[in-house]
Amino acid sequence: MAESTELRTGVVADPKKPVAEKEPLFGKKEKILITDPLLDNNPITIQVLGVCSALAVTSLVYPSLVMAVAVVFVCAFSSLLTSLMRNIIPKAVRLIVQLVIIATLVTLVNEALKVLAFPVYKQLSVYIGLIITNCIVMGRLEAFAMANKPWRAFLDGVGNGLGYGLILVAVGVVRELFGKGSLFAGSPIAMNIIGPSGDTTQYWINTAADSGIGSFFGWYANNNLMVLPAAAMFVIAVFIWIQRSYNSKLVDVS
Amino acid sequence: MSTKYIYTFGVIMTVVVALLLAGFRTVTAEAAARNEDIFNKREILATLAEPLAEAGSPIETLTDAEVLAIFDEQVEQIVVNPAGEQVADVEFSAIDLAKEYKKPEAQRLYPINIFNIDGERYYVFSVRGNGLWDAIWGNIALASDLNTVTGASFDHAGETPGLGAEIKDNAGWKSQFKGKKIYNGDEFVSILVRKGGAIDQEHEVDGLSGATVTADGVTKMLYNGLKAYQPFIEEQRAEAGATSMNLK
């Protein structure tokens, strides 16, 4: 409603001037940029980008979460920078330029972490390098940021980073819970959910207990397959299956 | 767009990015080096968690200043050669194990941190080896009998998180090293990381599922690494043994 009033008053105030359609800063189109990659155009389950890192880092939730945050950051700002430079980047070398932008951002994040939070840097050093080769970042620069205005490119970057992160964390939860019986291991809020309690670790559901809830889970053992990278294949495949059975538009009928 | 434009763009981009990164790195280098030093010292202290906690300074609560203070006051840092003799003319801080391991074996120098906690001596040895993807390294602390392990800490350059990286992140796995013995009688056996679970409780620890290559790397690293210190260890043991034999 506010939008149309604004347009109308604009017409009344200066009838001679052609009305440039004023785009709101965060309207419907911008909202779609964020929400679409979360579900219907998810980078992992629909575009099948960034699967390599999704297999590698999802055996624990905490690293998945951190990787997700880092990718949102790199994806958003590299999209912004690429979009700002899109008219001066020579088309013949655009991929190299995009790669330089991503690598510069990633290196800056890496160096900044060394100063600000060294233990976090130690935890992440492996993933940070992985971001440079993450297909999502470059895919979005090539497909969207090179042809759109900075603000929208930035939102597209955030959206795709979040869509990637959502799947990453979801896969991480399944793999860590069934593979190790814990959640968020290695972070300040580490939780031991299920397993036999010993001298060093106590679990919420103690499968070695003689009474209580734990006694019903005496048969339970961690699934070591979930620890291996191959498990992410199955888990992502199940996500894709569920998603497509809910939304038949996504099914490829060819 | 002309070729000239592409070249100009490329050159300007390269110069700008290079200056930006080099400048940023120069500005932050000192703080980063300090952070790394403290991180490594904490890793060394982590091998002595139990004696430190008993002495009233558990490692979780130590501030950066306290970590540095422990290293100033309670540690004797020595450098030994492969024959186990102390080398006096080399600064401890000049030893970089990664570089030492590239030298021929006879020329290598090894660092030892000797702690004095509540009157007890603890020896922390630094070792280095290879994991699945890249280098791994670690510290292993022996009690004053130079046989019983007080604790171990490991780090890696690029092991897979959740699999090989568990050697650093999995506190439960690391805690198994406490109380193991590196000698079987008088024979040096080191500690074996056994796939499928430890059989000999005195000299073996459980493997890590999904990380067999890294775990084998740890076994090799501990064996070769501690073997390099063996002359020093045996000399110290002989001295300690001589005292006890005199008592007989």
Q: What is the nearest CA distance from A140 to chain B, expressed in angstroms?
A: 21
pLDDT digits 0-9 by tens, A202-250: 788 887 777 777 777 878 888 888 888 888 899 999 998 998 888 877 7
Q: What is the nearest CA distance from B144 to chain A, expressed in angstroms?
A: 25
pLDDT band at B248 (very low <50, low <70, confident <90, very high): very low
**Average pLDDT along chain A:** 81
**Domains of chain B by residue range:** 6-247
Q: What is the DSSP string of B124-169?
A: EEEEEEE-SSSEEEEEEEE-TTSSBEEEEEEEESSPPTTTTTHHHH
Q: What is the nearest CA distance from A184 to chain B, expressed in angstroms?
A: 12
Q: Which of A63, A104, A228 sits opposite B210 (nearest CB)?
A: A228
CA B30 to CA A50: how far, in whole Å? 35
Does residue A200 sit at the B interface (CB-CB below 8 Å)? yes
Are A229 and B160 in contact (CB < 8 Å)?
yes
Are B28 and A186 in contact (CB < 8 Å)?
no
**Domains of chain A by residue range:** 28-176, 190-222
Question: Which ranges of chain A would DSSP assign to H, the alpha helix?
Answer: 2-13, 28-35, 51-57, 61-84, 94-116, 118-132, 135-143, 150-180, 230-246
Are A115 and B158 in contact (CB < 8 Å)?
no
Residues paired with residue A111 on neighbouring β-strands, in sequence order = none
Across the A:B interface, residue pairs with CB atoms under 8 Å apart total 86
Task: Using CB atoms within 10 Å of the CB of residue B144, give its burial: 0 to 12 exposed, 13 to 18 middle, 19+ buried.
Answer: middle
- Residues of chain B with Cβ-Cβ distance to A108 below 8 Å are 20-21, 24
pLDDT of residue A35: 84
Q: Which residue has the higher pLDDT, A94 or A189?
A: A94
Tell which phi-psi region holds residue A90, choosing left (phi > 0), alpha (psi between -120 and 50) or beta.
Answer: beta
Residues paired with residue B188 on neighbouring β-strands, in sequence order = B183
Sign of CA dihedral A175, A178, A183, A184: negative
Judge whether residue A13 has pLDDT over 60: no
Task: Using CB atoms within 10 Å of the CB of residue B25, give its burial: 0 to 12 exposed, 13 to 18 middle, 19+ buried.
Answer: middle
This model of the complex carries an ipTM of: 0.71
Token duo for residue A101: 């932008």
CA A99 to CA B87: how far, in whole Å? 49
pLDDT band at B130 (very low <50, low <70, confident <90, very high): very high
Instruction: Read off the pTM.
Output: 0.73
Token duo for residue B150: 């007080």
pLDDT digits 0-9 by tens, A127-161: 777 788 788 888 889 989 999 999 999 999 999 99
Helix (H/G/I), strand (E/B), else coil: A252:
coil
- Cα A121 to chain centroid, rounded: 19
pLDDT digits 0-9 by tens, A29-51: 888 888 888 888 888 888 888 88
CA A181 to CA A202: how far, in whole Å? 11
Contact A109, A128 (CB under 8 A): yes
Judge whether residue B247 has pLDDT over 50: no
CA A190 to CA A175: how far, in whole Å? 15
pLDDT band at A2 (very low <50, low <70, confident <90, very high): very low
Helix (H/G/I), strand (E/B), else coil: B91:
coil
Nearest CA in chain B to A88: B9
pLDDT digits 0-9 by tens, B1-48: 688 999 999 999 999 999 999 999 999 999 999 998 999 999 899 899
